[in-house]
Copies of this chain bind each other. A is one copy, B any other.
Amino acid sequence: MAGSIGSALMATPRVLAFDVFGTVVDWRSGIARDSSRFLAQISRSDIDSAAFADKWRGRYQPAMAEVRNSVRPFVVLDVLHREMLEGTLFEHGIDARAVDPVVLDDWSRAWHRLDPWPDAVIGLTRLKMRYPIVTLSNGNIALMLEIARRGRLPWDAILGAEVIRAYKPDAQAYLGTAAILDALPAELCLVAAHHSDLAAARRSGLLTAYVDRPMEYGGAAAPDRDQHQEWEWRADSLTDLADQLGCD
């Protein structure tokens, strides 16, 4: 059990809201697996699929920033993932317009085929016995739904960016989710593997639970490691979090 000094004295959350990419599902392995197959289809197996996954994900924050900064109206993450794929291909000298659109569509939907970390389903199932568990992801509803059905993630509700029409770390993503749940911000706990996400949630008054996912970037350091704080809870897995929150 990871350290959670004083957690017995903490306010108890009423609802748990989960980041999904990296926290509940392993995006890098899934994107690398599918990209390997598609890179072979376009005769570019010389490109390392894990590095390709990292490059694709690297376009995530800049793509959402355009929406957050009102450079463009809200569009769902499926649309951004497709554009980010085209940009990543371009970076590797591949013109997306020369690729079969059916292949491109299927490739960009690799994000729908991500698998949960090994502890996720049992951890969520235990947490759900005591707390409502909802998504608070930047992923759109259809994307979250497909990941959940594929991996049998037992969400009580799929909330997040599309419902609020704002991307994390905009305060509205956290505050709007609490409002929909008829909860005060302090009654909602964000569970996430990312310090940057937790820091924004805390600025909005939410409780915070950090889940360590050392393999999210294949063992490399997380880009937001300098935003570390003492979170209300710190767990090595969702089953560890269930232990700490007193869920059988």
| Residues of B close to A180: CB separation below 8 A | 140-142, 162
Q: Closest B-chain residue to A153, C-beta based? A: B156
Q: Are B141 and A148 within 8 A (Cβ)?
A: no
**Given A141-B181, A182-B78, A156 and B148 touching (CB < 8 A)?**
yes
Q: What interface size band does chain A fall in?
A: 20 to 34
Q: Are A145 and B132 within 8 A (Cβ)?
A: yes
At the interface, yes or no: A186 with Cβ under 8 Å from chain B? Answer: no
At the interface, yes or no: A190 with Cβ under 8 Å from chain B? Answer: no
CA of A163 to CA of B159, assembled, Å? 9
Q: List 21 A-B contacts (CB under 8 A).
A: A78-B182, A132-B145, A132-B149, A134-B145, A140-B180, A141-B157, A141-B159, A141-B163, A141-B180, A142-B180, A145-B156, A145-B157, A145-B181, A148-B156, A149-B156, A155-B156, A155-B157, A157-B157, A157-B158, A158-B158, A162-B180
